[in-house]
A and B are shown apart, each in its own frame.
Chain A
Amino acid sequence: MTRLHVDWTRCDGHGACAELVPELLASDEWGFPMSRTGERDPEVPPHLVEHADHAVRSCPLMALSRV
């Protein structure tokens, strides 16, 4: 089981992550990611792993990781 983890000490709401995995993350009104699955760190289903990794690479502050 693999999850997306937001390092909140780094995140500044750029929003690339929510664009790449909209099934798992939405952007709130200030630009910060909100988990869509009800879990704090949303579980990444196998078919979304590639997109999740793209999201991890795309965060300019390296606030996203797949754990």
Chain B
Amino acid sequence: MNEALWALGRGTGVVALVMFTITLVLGIATHSGRSLGGLGRFGVADVHRTAALTGVGLIAVHVGSLLFDPFAQLRLVDVLFPFLGAYRPFWLGLGTLALDLLAVVTVVSLLRHRVGPTVFRAVHWLTYVLWPVAWLHSLGTGTDAGSVWMTGVAATCFAAVTAAVGWRLLPSYGERGRTRTPRKGL
């Protein structure tokens, strides 16, 4: 049973990382106002949202299974307050930090029509902190750390995010693939 919980914890963690990588890349694609393949602009936004919520669901299982796994030695306080854990406190702490950020971003995103675009945008910028923290956490925590396949997954995610952010920083990004005068300050 313990092994099953541990496997569930590890598995959901890895898949969640992939989900959040997809989320970030598609988030940049959404903001670009361009369609990807046959998805359409609305499709890009929809998949971005679906991947994000799937990731949140996976993280709920990830944290839940590890809470109930005695091997993980995860206390409730460790779920909310980072760097207090018994097992690999630093890497675990990163996970807690990522969880805290994820909670804020998710709640504000779900309530975005209530909080308005300014607050929504400000909080959404936190995803650029959330992703690296989650990524680092996945590198150092758990028994898969350092394994070949885990390193491969982490490297692929890193490459995807780097490429997307690189595109984000290009001057042509804001033109949406059209000849237009972009707004200032967006």
Q: Is the CB–CB distance between A31 and B30 below 8 Å?
A: no
Complex interface: chain A residues within 8 A of B46 (CB): 58
Chain A, 28-51, CB within 8 A of any chain B CB:
29-31
Q: Is the CB–CB distance between A62 and B112 below 8 Å?
A: yes
Interface digits, B24-35 against A, CB 8 Å rule (1 contact, 0 not)? 000000110101
How many chain B residues touch A (CB < 8 A): the figure is 22
Complex interface: chain A residues within 8 A of B117 (CB): 10, 61-62
Chain B, 101-129, CB within 8 A of any chain A CB:
112-113, 116-117, 120
Interface of B, helix, strand, loop or mixed by DSSP: helix
**One of B41, B42, B45, B178 near A30 (C-beta < 8 A):** B178
Nearest 7 Cβ contacts at the A-B interface: A14-B33, A16-B42, A30-B180, A16-B41, A58-B42, A58-B45, A19-B40
Question: Could you tell me which A residues sit within 8 Å of B by CB distance?
Answer: 10, 12-17, 19-20, 29-31, 54-55, 58, 60-62
